[in-house]
Structures are given as C-alpha cells and as structure tokens.
Amino acid sequence: MLALVLLTSGCGVRDSAILDPAGPIASDERDLIVRTSAIMLIVVIPVIILTIRFAWRFRASNEKAPYAPNWDYSGKVDAITWAIPILIVAGVGYHAWVFTHSLDPYKPIQSSQKTLVVHAVAQDWKWLFLYPEQKIAVANELVFPSGAPLSVKITSDTVMNSFFIPGLGGQIYAMAGMRTELNLLSYDPGEFSGRNVMYSGDGFSDQHFKAVAAKPDEFEAWVEKVRRSPDKLDADAYARLAKPGVLPKPQYFSSFMPGLFETIIGKYRAGGSDKHRAMRK
C-alpha cells in the first residue's frame, strides 16, 4: 500500500493520483480500493510471514525441527484454509455489491446547485464537448462550475473509447450508436487531465483533454469567450473535425447544429434517416 501511494503521488500531479481525489465519486472509489485491499491483506500478510517462518524453522541445519513423515491431515489447518478465503470473498463481495449501486455512473448527484449537462463525443483522436443549454461546442476542453454536479452524456463517432478523469473518478465506455452517462462533481476549482483509456489507433497516446472546474463567474466568462469564436460547428466543420488527427490545442465553436448529438448516435443504428446518412458522408 505504501508503494502504491508513492507511485501515485510521486509525480506531483493531483488529477492523476486516484488516491488523492478531488470529488465525492473519486473519494468513494478511493475508499473502495483501500477497503478491498485491506480485506485481501488479511490473508496476504499472514501467508508471507508464515512462509518466512516455515522456511527458517524447517531449514536443513535446524536439527530441532519436528519430523513427521506420516502426517497427512489436520482438521484445524483444513478449517483455516477454507474459512479465511470464504470470509475474504464475502467481505469483498459485500463491498462490491454496496458500491456497485452507490457508485452507479447514471445516478444523479444530489446537490442544491444546478446540474450542468454536457454531451461528449469521442473521435479519432480527440474529444468534442457540446453544451446544449449554452449552445456552444469545444474540442479537447471541458469546463464546468466547481461545487455543482456535472452530467456527461457520452457516445462515440468512431471505435470504442473510454472516458476518464482520474481526479474526479470513474470511467465509462463511449460506444458508437449508444449513449452512456457519467455524473461527477469537483469540490473546489482546479484543472484536471481527461483521457481515453481504450486503445483506439495511432493517435491514442495523445488523446487527452483539459478538464477545468472553474468558479461560477469564471465559468460564465469562459462561456462568453467561446460564444465570441468566429467558428461554427456546421456539417462541413464537423466533417473536418471528425477526420483522424490530434488537435494541438482546444478548438472553440460559438454554435453547433441542433440535434447533433442525437444525429451522431443515429448514424450507427439500423435504418438511419437521410439526415444520418448525410452526416456519415
């Protein structure tokens, strides 16, 4: 456990350290990792200690060690051998069951603050974020208010990807023709690294995005900044953006086509409409 802490904290980047969470979801996931690891150490530590003890006690030079060539069974040893693994499996299973439901990625985060909804689209090799309420779009930058829930609806316009912001917790797959969801929250303002953790081709290693938890007034100022962008995400602009390639910096769009997220999902479903086929072209 100490080695794991050193490995995850040695780089000094808070958002890459799963054991240094910045939100409630990441905190619960950190607790789950620590608890299940502690439960499994119940058998690991005694086995290591007993292995060393047995090797030392029954070494060839120890003539006082008991010699029992006819021994073949011990009820106590058999009971311990079965009881401890059963208890460990039961303990880990209990935690897995409880946290599987409490950490349901589709479960909204209860808060007095308004939830910000963002649509995320995985591309080769970039992430596109659509803000339906603000009517803006941004590639490779996700900005949201700190202290307020963030609900990310996720799909893919290419092969399977996996959406992950380590500092805020949770990862979930982005799949073409489907919509997944992840609910997150950041306690305080800060900057995090988001990434795709599913290999998706040549540009996979550079498929990162910047996630920024901003103060409410800073978020509104950022929205106005994006709205002043001369670029608009129309069909031609989207087709260019969707081509395989890595963006050197975030790209802002002051508007995007209505229903774009649903259209992208519909492209990969059987019997897509003419609009869907046009988007595919």
Confidence of residue 3 (pLDDT cuts 50, 70, 90): low
Give me the chain's average pLDDT, please. Answer: 88
Range with the poorest average pLDDT among 13-27, 68-82, 258-272: 13-27
pLDDT confidence of residue 133: 96
User: Does pLDDT of 281 surpass 90?
Assistant: no
| pLDDT tens-digit series, residues 80-113 | 888 888 988 898 888 888 888 888 899 999 999 9
The architecture that CATH gives domain 17-60+73-102 is Orthogonal Bundle (1.10)
For range 56-75, the mean pLDDT? 87
User: Does pLDDT of 13 surpass 70?
Assistant: no
Q: Which of the two residues, 22 and 145, has the higher pLDDT score?
A: 145
User: Does pLDDT of 279 surpass 50?
Assistant: no
b vs e for 225-262, b when ≥16 Cβ sit within 10 Å of the residue's Cβ?
ebeebeeebeeebbeebbeeeebeebbbbbebbeebbe
Phi, psi dihedral angles at 142 (to 5 degrees): -120, 110
Q: How far is CA 200 from the centre of its chain?
A: 16
Confidence of residue 45 (pLDDT cuts 50, 70, 90): confident
Q: Six-digit token pair at 175?
A: 């799949």
Per the rule left: phi > 0, alpha: psi between -120 and 50, beta: everything else, 181 is: beta
Q: Six-digit token pair at 251?
A: 């790209």
The number of residues in the chain equals 281
pLDDT confidence of residue 123: 96
E strands in the chain: 116-123, 126-131, 136-139, 141-145, 150-156, 161-164, 171-174, 180-184, 190-196, 208-214, 251-253
User: Does pLDDT of 37 surpass 80?
Assistant: yes
Strands 126-131 and 180-184 come out as unpaired
202 neighbors 114 (Cβ within 8 angstroms) = no
DSSP string, 19-68: TS-SSHHHHHHHHHHHHHHHHHHHHHHHHHHHHHHHHHHT-TT-TTS---
Q: Which CATH superfamily is domain 116-280 in?
A: Cupredoxins -  blue copper proteins (2.60.40.420)
User: Does pLDDT of 239 surpass 90?
Assistant: yes
226 neighbors 254 (Cβ within 8 angstroms) = yes
- Domains in the chain: boundaries: 17-60+73-102, 116-280
User: Does pLDDT of 203 surpass 70?
Assistant: yes
For range 191-197, the mean pLDDT? 92
pLDDT confidence of residue 10: 43
**Unique residue bearing structure tokens 């941004």:** 138
**Unique residue bearing structure tokens 């399977």:** 160
Confidence of residue 12 (pLDDT cuts 50, 70, 90): very low
pLDDT confidence of residue 9: 47
pLDDT confidence of residue 280: 45
171 neighbors 194 (Cβ within 8 angstroms) = no
pLDDT confidence of residue 16: 53
